[in-house]
Structure 1
Amino acid sequence: MEVSEFTSLNYYHRDLSWLLFNRRVIHEANDPSNPLLEQLRFLAIASSNLDEFFMVRVPSIQSLARLQPKAKDARTGWTQEEVLFKLYEINLNNTRLQYQYFNQIIEDLAQHQQFVKSVDELSETQLQEVDRFFYELLLPAVTPIGLDAYHAFPKLAEKKVHIFVQVRQENRIERAVIPLPPLFSRLHQLADEQTYLLVEELITKHLPELFVGWEIDHSFCFRITYDKDLEFREDTDEKLFTQMEEYIVERSKGLPSRLEISGTWSKEIEESVLILADLLQLKARDLYWVPGPLDLTFLFPFVDTLAKEFPGLVFPRFTGNTYKEKGPQLFQAIEKNDLLFHHPYDSFEVVLNFLEAAAEDPNTIAIKQTLYRMAPHSRVVKALKKAAAKGKQVTVLVELKARFDEENNLHWVQELEEAGCYVSYGLHQLKTHSKALLVVKKEGRQVKQYAHFGTGNYNEKTSSIYTDISLFTAKKEYVEDITAFFNYLSGYREVPHYQKIAVSPNGIQHKLLEKIEDTMTHYQQTKQGAICFKMNSLTDKVVINKLYEASQVGVPIHLIVRGACCLKPGIPHLSEAIEVTSIVGRFLEHSRIYAFYTSEEDAEVWISSADIMTRNMLHRIEIATPVEKGPALDKLLTVLDAFKKDRKKAYLLTESGHFRRFTEDNSFSSQDYFMTNSQPQSEMILPFQTLDNPNLLSKIRKIWQSH
């Protein structure tokens, strides 16, 4: 068994595995099948992803390293300090690759007469123009802050670029920081509308005007990421809404977790960097030298601006298939057959229409729905408010603890409550991550119920870029299950006994283990059967071990895991029958599908809001829903088959922990296939080694010099 920088024992480390996912995102910036501006957008996405990683995942490892320095990770046998150093090495390699691609794309943009230049590259006329901009607009907004005994060390803004300056006056040395003015764009567009200049370069050019009478020793740009994953402790004696308001304020006091420095390491500025790191209480392994401009998320507005002028340099506009039945006809169609939709290839409009039609229908007597992350100007919330205004009973379970959406959700809660909706926040210490919607109608003396189960949020904005599955059904067992589910969450009752669905905590894990066991038994008896799972992350050790058991009896297992994967394929006598692939493309692969085949054609398939992660299995309210035989299941199996065949956008996970492209000549892309088949007439688609040297700084310095 190979032991690599990514893994030890029989498991990959979750966070190192995630960094390899972010590397796959970075690689999309080097894929010629992606338009030029979309390549830039992938670099911005990777930067945004990494920011959240250092706001959420890394701080918990740093905390464990401080509190339990000798404790070892259960999956890999490494100490947390060893994990942090491995993480550091991998991320430095990712960053080097990211900026290599960035520089190449900026060069390529010059062929389209679009230039991102440094100050040294500007013409005399352009220099005069940007100097006027500095003196007239920037200078009044720029404030140097001294770092000495007479100035309190400032709370430096998170994720914002600052300039560190060391100045000298005879034998006196002082230091200061300059925050970039927040209301100015990072990229200043010159009058020719073709040339752009980073604002920090312009400020750096004019440092002598900001420190009159002082000699500039050196300067560099830096950026800080803070811990935003402070533990939220619920108090059952205080309203959760009030607790969450207080938590949002408290979270702003998190400790720094990362310091990024723009430029190449040099002995001249190392002392200043280490002084800054000491002030921030960061170690050398928390410092990242970035070979280019910091925070590539500034590329998001840059790409959007250029896309208007160069529409051929972005993906062509894509609109998914719109389901033909609307309003009452949609509900009639659901009564006849379960309906399954694959977003965004099938437009999310069908879900919005389902809810909006229910809100308008005078026969609707109740609507019940879970909400986790919602779009700005949410049509979902608007429909729920309208339903309440029309006298319908509207019950909404809003998850206030949805990370980084807490403030947004507090806003929606107030709106929903003011509109007359009954709002619940779920259960104590558990996040409600399930995606479910129930509509109840009364037609004469007959009550009819219609349910929607999804793998993604009720968010019309993200639904256009995330792939997800929707299932509509009016079948008795399903609507009875979801009725019991909502009553359990909104009131007081024992955990329901569900007829069809499985609900976490515990329920989905138990169901997956049961179905894997059944598939193993069937395979041993018939030599037929297989398992195929598609998800965002696979980290739950209990389910992983059960998959190892299934592999040992020969069950073929194909796992499609977009992000972190702790399961290690290809281990002799343990996981030889398991193949792990990862698809990264134009759309974010977000759907969760769990299939258990009894033959090549027949399978029991579940869709779920839950990834196979311990948090989802044991610490969240999640739903998994089986899709019964019929057109809906046929479509879902076809969707899953396309994912399994992908070789253009898929990567194969090797035993060493590396992901590699497939080598065979196969241009099949599942996402391209789905887009091609999403036409109005096709509403149903057919066919890293730990060093012993304790001197971390010397190790880090070597890495700096090598990069």
Structure 2
Amino acid sequence: MEVSEFTNLNYYHRDLSWLLFNRRVIHEAKDPSNPLLEKLRFLAIASSNLDEFFMVRVPSIQSLARLQPKDKDTRTGWTQEDVLLKLYEINLNNTRLQYQYFNQLIEELTKHQKFVKSINELSAEQLQEADSFFYELLLPAVTPIGLDAYHAFPKLAEKKVHIFVQVHQGNRVERAVIPLPPLFSRLHQLANEQTYLFVEQLIIRHLPEIFVGWEIDHSFCFRITYDKDLEFREDTEEKLFTQMEEYIIERSKGLPSRLEISSEWSKEVEESVLILANLLQLKVRDLYWVPGPLDLTFLFPFVDSLAPDFPGLVFPRFIGNTHKELNGAELFQAIEENDLLFHHPYDSFDIVLNFLESAAADPNTIAIKQTLYRMAPNSRVVNALKKAAAKGKQVTVLVELKARFDEENNLHWVQELEEAGCYVSYGLHQLKTHSKALLIVKKDGRQIKQYVHFGTGNYNEKTSSIYTDISLFTAKKEYVADITAFFNYLSGYRQVPNYQRIAVSPNGIQQKLLEKIEQTIVHYQQTKQGAICFKMNSLTDKVVINKLYEASQSGVPIHLIVRGACCLKPGIPNLSETIEVKSIVGRFLEHSRIYAFYTNDKEADVWISSADIMTRNMLHRIEIATPIEKGPALDHLLTILDSFRKDRKKAYYLTASGHSRRLIENNEFSAQEYFIAHSQPNSETIIPMSIKENPNLLSKIRKIWQSH
């Protein structure tokens, strides 16, 4: 077996695997097919990703390392301290790569007469202008905070840049921190509109004017990330809304999980860093020396400010097919005739909004039921539900209050929905409702007609423009009956439904996947035909992974498209030889979940789902998986899946050592580029294409793995 730095057993560690996903995001800053400003945006995305990683995932490992220092992880055989050290090493390499690309891109930006300069690179005239800005605007807003017995150690703002300063006066040595004034941009644009300067550099230049009468020993910039994954314990005796308000306050008291430092190394600076780390109760493996400006998320507004003047340096504006022919009543009539399947954002999310808004306005609509997990600011979805309630329709909404980092936003929407007359439920005790479902009930004379939407992504029109997801509309009786029972189960009191078509977690989706994998194994053993193809964000559930290993040992070809963390190890002799794992990172965030079980080259049992194959989704969340029946919708979905399988241009393949590699072959097909090109208005469906499968593909891939 090939030795891996990510595991010594048959599973990769989830969090180390995720760090490799973030490295793939960083690598997009080097991809020549991406425009310059988009490359910078990918670096900002990687920084934002990593912030959340240190707010959620790393603190849990740190807690286990403190509480159970000798216990070993069941998947890798490592202690939690071992994991933290390996995480540190991998992330340090990621950071170095990220800043290498950052410096190269900032240099490339000078070709377009935009200059991000250090304080030492400014001309005398520019320096004079910058100094005037400091004295007139910055200095009044700067507040140094002493670190001594007469000043309580402050609760330093999370993810904000601070300046640490050591000063002395005779033999007296003191230390202080300066938070960057929050209402100022990190990059100050000089009057010529071509040159930008980091605000922290300007403040450091003027430290003597801030600490008048003291000598400046040294200074450096730092930034702290805090634990934001405080365990939420529900109390069935207290209203969940009130508990969540209290939880949000308690979460702000989380311990530090990471300290980032931007400074040239010196013994004196290192001593001050260790003093600061001790005050924050952090270990050396929690300290990251960053070779450049802290917090590259400042690139988000910077790129947005430049984009209007440099349209050629960003992705061309893209608007998905709005399907204007399916407007209002025409959409509902089309759903009655056939299941409809759409691929967002290539098919605009307006089709879903149109479905809901038309129902809200239709006097024949008598009820609307919907799950909500994350919503956009100024949400059209919420506005439609409020309008429907105002018109006397019965509107029932299951809002997940425990959606991480959206708790405050969802509390706000709950208040608005309830004030508008909607019935709001929070789901089931100790389970997050992560499913995406919408039911419309209409009266047609003496008949009742019902229409269902199932999705793989949130009802969020903002993220729907950059996340790829699948929507299914159906009016079939079995689906309608299932989703009616589903909503009644969550909003009222009844036994777990016996669903006819859909699978629902906890337990149901995992059991369904195991059942379908077993059926594929039996079919393959009898016919030597069949395959499995899964597309998801993460694959970490050990039970399903073991079943996939079993399928591989039976010879079943398995194609896994996993954007993020993957604990399964491909290419292990006598265990996973027939498994191929790849990740696609591109302009849009691959978010759809598709699970396909092929009986031959052209036929498959395919499901879409709100759930990734993660233990939390399988056992601790309310999720839905929906089968797609034979017909145009299934044909469309298989074409989509085949396009992802064909993608080599934006794909990374996971090796048995745990690294991701590009294939060495001349194949410039990108699924995302293909979908963009074939999503022009008035196109009815994505044009089917012929994809020739190479029977020796897996053996070729193994040779490439071995060559690395």
Query: TM-score interval w.r.t. the shorter chain?
Result: over 0.9
TM-aligned CA deviation for residue 2 of structure 1: 1.9
Counterpart check, 1:94 vs 2:104: no
The answer for the alignment partner of 2:503 in structure 1 is 502
Separation in 2, partners of 1:586, 1:662: 20
Deviation of 1:428 after TM superposition, in Å, equals 0.1
Q: Which residue of 1 aligns with 2:390?
A: 389
For residues 184-333 of structure 1, the aligned pairs below 5 Å read: 184-323=184-323, 324-333=325-334
Paired AA for residue 73 in structure 1: D
Amino acid paired to 2:138: L
Deviations, residues 646-690 of structure 1 (Å, cap 9, x unaligned): 000000000000001111010000000000010123221121xxx
| Counterpart amino acid of residue 165 in structure 1 | V
- Decide whether the 8 Å contact of 1:399 with 1:433 is kept in 2: yes
CA deviation string 1:307-357 (max 9, x = no partner): 011111100100001112110110000000000000000000000000000
Aligned match of 2:169: 169
State the match for 1:699 in structure 2. Answer: none
What are the equivalent positions in structure 2 for 1:114-129 lying under 5 Å apart?
114-129=114-129
How is 1:621-660 mapped onto 2 (pairs within 5 angstroms)? Answer: 621-660=622-661
* Partner Cα separation in structure 2 for residue 400 and residue 194 of structure 1: 45
2:495 alignment partner, SS class: coil
Q: What SS does structure 2 have at the residue aligned with 1:558?
A: strand
Contact residue 677 and residue 685 of structure 1 kept, 8 A: yes
Look up the match of 2:44: 44
State the TM-score, normalizing by the size of structure 1: 0.97
Q: How many residues are paired up?
A: 687
Residue identity in the other structure for 1:225: T
SS in 2 for 1:276: helix
C-alpha distance in 2, partners of 1:577/1:32? 32
1:77 corresponds in structure 2 to: 77
Tell me which amino acid in the other structure corresponds to 2:591: H
> Which secondary structure does the structure 1 equivalent of 2:230 belong to?
coil
Equivalent positions of 1:193-592 (< 5 A) are 193-323=193-323, 324-592=325-593
8 Å Cα contact 1:346-1:683 kept in structure 2: no
- Quote the residue 1:695 is aligned against: none
Helix, strand or coil: the match of 1:162? strand
User: How much does 1:268 deviate?
Assistant: 2.5
Equivalent residue, structure 2, for 1:110: 110
| Residues 190-214 of structure 1: CA deviation (Å, up to 9, x unaligned) | 1001110000000000001111111
Q: Does 2:669 align with 1:668? A: yes
The match for 1:609 is: 610
Could you tell me how far 1:469 is from its partner in structure 2?
A: 0.0
1: CA distance, partners of 2:365 / 2:343: 27
Which amino acid counterpart does residue 491 of structure 2 have in structure 1? S
Aligned to 2:242, the other structure's residue is in SS state helix
2:112 is paired with a residue of what secondary structure? coil
Q: What is the CA-CA distance between 1:548 and the residue it aligns to?
A: 0.1
What is the one-letter code of the residue matched to 1:302?
Answer: F
Report what 1:696 is aligned to: none
- SS in structure 1 opposite 2:82? helix
Normalised TM-score (structure 2): 0.97
Q: Following the alignment from structure 2 to structure 1, what is the Cα–Cα distance between the partners of residues 149 and 237? A: 44
Which runs of 5 or more structure 2 residues have no equivalent in the other structure?
689-708
Q: CA offsets, 1:65-97, max 9 Å, x none?
A: 000000001100000000000000000000000
SS across alignment from 1:203: helix
Deviation at 1:171, TM superposition (A): 1.7
Q: Distance in 1 between the 2:237 and 2:383 partners?
A: 31
What is the percent sequence identity of the aligned residues? Answer: 87
The residue type equivalent to 2:296 in the other structure is: L
Kept in 2: contact 1:321–1:683 (CA 8 A)? no
Decide whether the 8 Å contact of 1:607 with 1:625 is kept in 2.
Answer: yes
**Cα distance in 2 between the residues matched to 1:680 and 1:147:** 62
Equivalent residue letter for 1:317: R
CA distance in structure 2 between the aligned counterparts of 1:407 and 1:468, rounded to whole angstroms: 25
Counterpart amino acid of 2:542?
K
How far apart, in 2, do the equivalents of 1:132 and 1:676 lie?
Answer: 51
- Corresponding residue for 2:701? none
Question: Equivalents in 2 of 1:638, 1:18: separation in Å?
Answer: 28
Contact conserved, 1:28 with 1:34, CA < 8 A, in 2? yes
Indicate if the aligned counterparts of 1:264 and 1:290 stay in contact, CA closer than 8 A: no
Match of 2:691 in 1: none
User: Secondary structure at 2:4's aligned position in 1?
Assistant: coil
Counterpart position of 1:690: none
CA contact (8 A) 1:3 1:9 kept: no
Partners of 1:490 and 1:683 in 2: CA distance: 38
Question: Tell me, what secondary structure is at the counterpart of 2:157?
Answer: coil
| Separation (CA, whole Å) in 1 of partners of 2:8 and 2:478 | 45
Following superposition, the deviation at residue 279 of structure 1 comes to 0.1
Q: Which whole-Å CA distance do the structure 1 matches of 2:103 and 2:681 have between them?
A: 41
Matched to 1:646, the amino acid is: D
CA distance in 2, matches of 1:470, 1:267: 58
The amino acid of 1:195's aligned partner reads T
Work out the CA distance in 1 between the residues paired with 2:203 and 2:186: 11
Corresponding residue for residue 150 of structure 1: 150
CA drift of 1:560 comes to 0.1
Paired residue secondary structure (2:649): coil
CA deviation map 1:263-283 (0-9, x unaligned)? 333222110000000000000
1: distance between equivalents of 2:684 and 2:233? 47
Aligned-residue Cα RMSD (Å) equals: 0.5
Q: C-alpha distance in 2, partners of 1:551/1:194?
A: 58
Q: 1:56 is aligned with what amino acid?
A: V
Superposed CA offset, 1:220-279 (max 9, x none): 000000000000000000000000000000000000000000033322211000000000
Q: Give the match's secondary structure for 1:73.
A: coil
* Contact map agreement 1:504 1:617 (CA 8 A) in 2: yes
- Aligned partners of 1:642 and 1:432: how far apart in 2? 31
Deviations 1:349-375 (A, max 9, x none): 000000000001111000000000000
Task: Give, as a single letter, the amino acid of the residue that structure 1 aligns with 2:456.
Answer: T
Matched residue SS, 1:105:
helix
Cα distance per residue 1:113-151 (max 9 Å; x no partner): 000001111111111111111001100110111111111
Q: Distance in 1 between matches of 2:400 and 2:261?
A: 37
Question: Shift of residue 16 of structure 1?
Answer: 0.2
Q: Distance in 1 between matches of 2:255 and 2:30?
A: 35
Q: Report deviation, 1:422.
A: 0.2
2-side partners of 1:475 and 1:650: how far apart?
37
Partner of 1:132: 132
Residue 130 of structure 2 aligns to a residue in which SS?
helix
Structure 2 distance, partners of 1:4, 1:628, is 42
One-letter code of the match for 1:663? I
What is the CA-CA distance between 1:288 and the residue it aligns to?
0.2
What secondary structure sits across from 1:8 in the alignment?
A: coil
